[in-house]
Amino acid sequence: MAHNESMVVVNGSQVSCIGHDWEDIPDFLGAKYGEVARRLDLSFNQLRSLTGLKAFSRLEELIVDNNLLGNDLQLPRLPRLHTLTLNKNQISFALLEHLAEVTPALEYLSLLGNEACPNQLVSMDKDEDDYQRYRYFVLHKLTKLKFLDTRRVTQWERSEAEARGAFMKVVKPKNDQVTRKRAKACSYPVTRLPRSWVFTKCRYVYYGKHSEGNRFIRNDQL
């Protein structure tokens, strides 16, 4: 994809390059705006790598929603970065330890729409308990977070994450495991009728004259 400088929108220290199908960050972006940019928005592209961020050493906010970023994502060290949104990419939990190393000032993180985040909007087999366990696990890895996704981190969550967050990782079952469980649930025994049994109509009609219940009911009670 050709990179065109006219696609870049600049407003003071805010730089936006949205919806241009870029597969990587062009060199001219860092050379021209790396020293001045405090907020960089690269949403709705086709990014698989963020190696071009090395020139943005003063970056404080990074938005890279709706891209193709995966677990092999490597960020340069960004000591001032406090806000990172990675919504709707292809990220699982493997990235968290890397973020803890290269973004020491990170306070706001959003991972909605990724494999790591068991949100009901993208996975109907997940519930609020799954999402809460996910929050504990992320907070265990990234202890300075104040916001995760759309919710503020509470003191209770922080305490729970410190106590047992390491054991709260939400694992998505493999498709073959789900298939086996469903097959096992449906494999109950079925008793078949003998072939010698024949169903037919009965010629007798029951009128209820000799019913045990009728002997205790008088006509004036009907």
What's the CATH code of the domain at 117?
3.80.10.10
Q: How far apart are CA 109 and CA 96, in angstroms?
A: 11
Full residue range of the structural domain in which residue 17 is found = 9-167
Tens of pLDDT, residue by residue over 79-131, are: 999 999 999 999 988 899 999 999 999 999 999 999 889 876 666 677 888 99
What one-character-per-residue DSSP string does 146-201 give? SEETTEEPPHHHHHHHHHHGGG-PPPPPPHHHHHHHHHHHT----PPPPTT-----
pTM of the entire predicted model: 0.73
Q: How far apart are CA 56 and CA 64, in angstroms?
A: 14
Q: How far apart are CA 18 and CA 42, in angstroms?
A: 5
In a domain, 94, yes or no: yes
| Number of domains making up the chain | 1
In a domain, 2, yes or no: no
In a domain, 199, yes or no: no
Question: Do residues 75 and 96 lie in contact, with contact meaning Cβ atoms separated by under 8 Å?
Answer: no
In a domain, 215, yes or no: no
Radius of gyration (Cα) for the chain, nearest Å?
31
Structure tokens that stand for 46 in this block: 């086709």
Mean pLDDT of the chain: 82
